[in-house]
Chains A and B, each alone.
Chain A
Amino acid sequence: METVTVRDAMQTTLDNRLAEGDATPMPAKIQARQTNVHYGDKHALKDVTLDVREGEVTSFIGPSGCGKSTFLRCLNRMNDTIDGCRVSGTVQLDGEDIYDPKIDVVQLRARVGMVFQKPNPFPKSIYDNVAYGPRIHGLAANKDELDEIVLTSLEKAGLLAEVKDRMESPGTGLSGGQQQRLCIARAIAVNPEVILMDEPCSALDPIATAKIEELIDELRENYTIVIVTHSMQQAARVSQRTAFFHLGELIEVGDTEQIFTNPKHKLTQGYITGRFG
């Protein structure tokens, strides 16, 4: 396993860029350099170096416990809330180190929104769920502006038509897929630059999943999206770039098409062909 190093991963990235023949690839929105995460004594993420490009969907795949969710949670410092979790290395958002003590974590999370594995709407009305972020950040000057933000966010999340007649009913009363889209609307309402999604469809049925995937594709126009998924088909369908993690290490990253058709590393190959994972 020690053969897989940062240099390899970086080399892969370089190879991909060369292969694309693209002189001006999309600029990197997030740059992680030698990021390590320890949970107590456990070394959960080892020297990950990765770029997330602006305006693209990047998916993280890999077997359970490979560190993909851990890495995702590094990108908006959600790991701060876990006791005994230490992050080292750098993660830059638009060239700024987000682990710099000067960075305010509240502001960071307003820029980097998150959607969780299990839909987790607040036990409040649909309206209040979406209005939550704008309210805590003071984004709306008055009720009309807030209404506007809520309606636009629900519209963008493709939920407006289904809920516009029952904005005051509890968000927890919606179906699983609707709840997850409500959570996406809630994240959009803060107008973030990046949206992190941690297995957003793992608790949903295939139809709801298809809707979310469609939505992710639409959201790509305005937001940089990072998605963790267990489903390789989903990664292939929604993302432009894919990163494969294994046992806390980044094994390979590249264009989705390349990863799925022509993986460089034998572990990646083994995983996508279903030999383990």
Chain B
Amino acid sequence: MSEMTVDTPRGGAGTRALVAAGIGRRYRAERRFRLFGLVAIVSALVFMVLLFVSIVGKGYTAFLQTEIRLPIHYDVQTIDPQGLRDPVEMRRANYGKLYRDALHEMFPDVESRGDRRMLNGLVSSGATFEIRDHVFADPALIGKKGEVWVPASDDVDMLVKGNVDRNSPEHERRMTDKEIAWIDALAAQDRIETRFNWRFFTQGDSREPELAGIWGAVSGSFLTMLVTLVLSFPLGVATAVYLEEFAPKNRWTDIIEVNINNLAAIPSIVFGLLGLAVFLQFFGLPRSAPVVGGLVLTLMTLPTIIIASRVSLQSVPPSIREAALGLGASKMQMVTNDVLPLAMPGILTGTIIGMGRALGETAPLLMIGMVAFIVDVPHGFSDPATVLPVQIYIWADSAERAFVERTSAAIIVLLTFLILMNAAAVYLRSKFERRW
């Protein structure tokens, strides 16, 4: 043995020297590799933080809305001159006159028609409907006086939130000096306040930013997602179970498999065009409706769910299948009793990820008309509706300065839903995961 170490230069001390020479390089390579990973993660985190800070920083002000407190006189002459208390007649009454009278009373020296109009413009046109709703909620108010908070117009809102530069020349800003003076006067009387913007969470879309809300889009998204889930989950799981457990392995199933994988890679706008051609043109389903949106998104989500479910089914150990079959379970019993429960966490995760993608999808819905301007909150699957990402797109496209913060706020709402869904996926995974 000793002779061998002498004769072979690589043996014994020689080998150790070679290893020692290379060891520094190996450790350096490892440190470099770890550093790359660290840099990648840190830069990803930095971008994420930047995104969140930017969106939340721009968007949080949309959760507040400037309101003006006005002393309203619920004048019988205006609301119900005949005193019949007939709801149809009362609904037609000129409630706008009530707040205009209140403003006029507060600023009696504003005389000219143009100035009066400018003064009335401080209050949002939505105030008319809110005052009407107060009267209908409590008819005893008629004839009495009361202090009412009404929404200010979007320009006032922007001024109060500091988005209008008071020092810039008058012709460069949307508020004239007169308007600013009136607002300052109101503020001096404690009649201006930024309050929680409940309209944003309860109303549908509007051309007036101060009245525009996300609720219509949230409802539309919910209805659309419901259709997508109800259709794509059973279809996807059934397809995966059949292909994985029952279908013979031959050329046909290979072709089907390749096509499912191809479908997963098709750009979503193509699914939108397909939906337009098939569901709207051929089947004549209603335009802009959640049912059609759900159908289109089902087409888009199905491949994701099928692929995730198949992977999940494949990962169930064969010994479990053998155990079930060896005891005389039928194939169906084996699948429902043993294989599906074990595959379920993976299937659910895949489904939720697919649904998350569908929730954030815009392009295919543009093609089937869900981009229309829809004020009413949808109550059914065939009502015209829009969805959250499309609402973001519409607002981002609007000219008014006040829509900037609302766009960011809508993004916050959408991201919240997505984070909740992903959290649900993680939770379901850990809850149903069984070890063997």
A71-123 residues at the B interface, CB under 8 angstroms: 76, 78, 81, 83, 106-110, 113-116, 118, 120-123
A123 contacts B342, C-beta separation under 8 Å: yes
| Interface: A253 (CB within 8 A) | no
Question: What's the Cα separation between A39 and B317 when bound, in Å?
Answer: 22
> Which partner residue on chain A sits nearest B333 by CB separation?
A136
- Could you list some 15 contacts between A and B, CB below 8 A? A83-B249, A110-B327, A113-B326, A116-B326, A120-B322, A120-B323, A121-B436, A122-B320, A122-B323, A123-B320, A123-B342, A132-B329, A133-B328, A183-B323, A190-B327
- Indicate if A172 sits at the interface (CB-CB under 8 A): yes
Do A187 and B435 touch (CB < 8 A)? no
Within 8 A of A (CB), among B324-350: 324-330, 333, 337-338, 342
The reply to whether A78 and B328 contact each other, CB–CB distance below 8 Å, is no
* CB closest chain-B residue, reference A114: B326
B328 in complex: contacting residue of A83, A122, A137, CB < 8 Å: A137
State whether A187 touches B333 (Cβ < 8 A).
no
From residue B334, how far is it (CB to closest CB) to chain A in Å?
Answer: 9
B144 within 8 Å of A by Cβ? no
Query: A83: which B residues are within 8 A, CB to CB?
Result: 249
- Of the candidates B322, B325, B326, B436, the one whose C-beta lies within 8 Å of that of A123 is B436
- A186 contacts chain B at the CB level, 8 A cutoff: yes
Query: Would you list which residues of chain B between 37 and 78 have a CB under 8 Å from chain A?
Result: none
Q: Known pairs A116-B323, A123-B435, A186-B323. 6 more at Cβ < 8 A? A: A120-B320, A123-B320, A132-B337, A133-B328, A172-B435, A187-B326
CB distance from B337 to the nearest CB of A (A): 7
Min CB–CB distance B3 → chain A (angstroms): 37
B327 x A81 contact (CB < 8 A):
no
Smallest CB separation, B424 vs chain A (Å)? 23
Q: Is B91 among interface residues, defined by CB-CB distance under 8 A?
A: no
**Residues on A facing B (Cβ under 8 Å):** 76, 78, 81, 83, 106-110, 113-116, 118, 120-123, 132-133, 136-137, 172, 183, 186-187, 190
Nearest CB in chain B to that of A80: its residue: B325
A-side contacts of B342, CB under 8 Å: 123
Also in contact, A116 and B327, with CB within 8 A (given A83-B249, A123-B342, A136-B337): no
B2 at interface (Cβ–Cβ under 8 A)? no
B250 to chain A, nearest CB (A): 10
B434 interface residue per 8 A CB criterion: yes
Residues from chain B with Cβ under 8 Å of A106 in the complex? 328-330
CB pair B326–A122 under 8 Å, yes or no, is no
Q: Report yes or no: A186 in contact with B320, Cβ–Cβ below 8 A.
A: no
Q: Is the CB of B327 within 8 A of A113?
A: yes
Which of A78, A115, A183, A186 is close to B325, meaning CB atoms less than 8 Å apart?
A: A78
Interchain CB contact under 8 A, A109 and B320: no
Interface residues on B, range: 20 to 34
Q: Hey, which chain A residues are within 8 Å of B337, CB to CB? A: 132, 136
B167 at the A interface (CB under 8 A): no
Complex Cα distance A110/B330, Å? 11
> Chain B nearest CB: distance from A242 CB in Å?
24
Assess the A118–B328 pair: CB atoms within 8 A: no
Contact across chains for A133 and B436 when beta carbons are under 8 A apart: no
**Bound complex: CA A109 to CA B323 (Å):** 11
CB-CB under 8 A from B320, the residues of chain A are 120, 122-123
Q: Which residues of B contact A115 (CB under 8 A)?
A: 326
Q: Which residues from A are CB-within-8-Å of B429?
A: none
Question: How far in angstroms is the closest Cβ of chain A from B169?
Answer: 75
Partner of A116, one of B249, B322, B330, B436: B322
A121 contact set on B, CB distance < 8 A: 323, 436
- With contacts A83-B249, A120-B320 known, is A136 near B435, CB below 8 A? no
Asked if B435 contacts A186 (CB within 8 A), the reply is no
Nearest chain B residue, comparing its CB with the CB of A128: B337
Contact of A136 among B319, B327, B434 (CB under 8 A): B327
Closest to A84 in B: B249
Contact of A81 among B317, B321, B333, B434 (CB under 8 A): B321
Taking a contact as CB atoms under 8 Å apart, the answer to whether A190 and B322 are in contact is no
Chain B, range 100-128, C-beta contacts under 8 Å to A: none
Q: Please, which residues of chain B bring their CB within 8 A of the CB of A120?
A: 317, 319-320, 322-323
* Residues of chain B lying within 8 A (CB to CB) of residue A172: 435-436
Closest to B323 in A: A120
Q: Which residue of A lies closest to B249 (CB)?
A: A83
Q: With a CB–CB cut-off of 8 A, which chain A residues contact B434?
A: 123
Cβ distance A113 to chain B, nearest Cβ, rounded Å: 7
Enumerate chain A residues within 8 angstroms of B436, measured Cβ to Cβ. Answer: 121-123, 172
Q: Are A118 and B319 in contact (CB under 8 A)?
A: yes
For the complex, give the distance between the alpha carbons of A106 and B333 in Å: 11
Judge whether A136 and B329 touch: CB under 8 Å: yes
Please state if A81 and B325 are interface contacts (CB–CB under 8 Å).
yes
Contacting B326 at CB < 8 Å: which of A76, A107, A118, A137? A76
* Max chain B C-beta neighbours (<10 A), residue from A107, A115, A136: A136
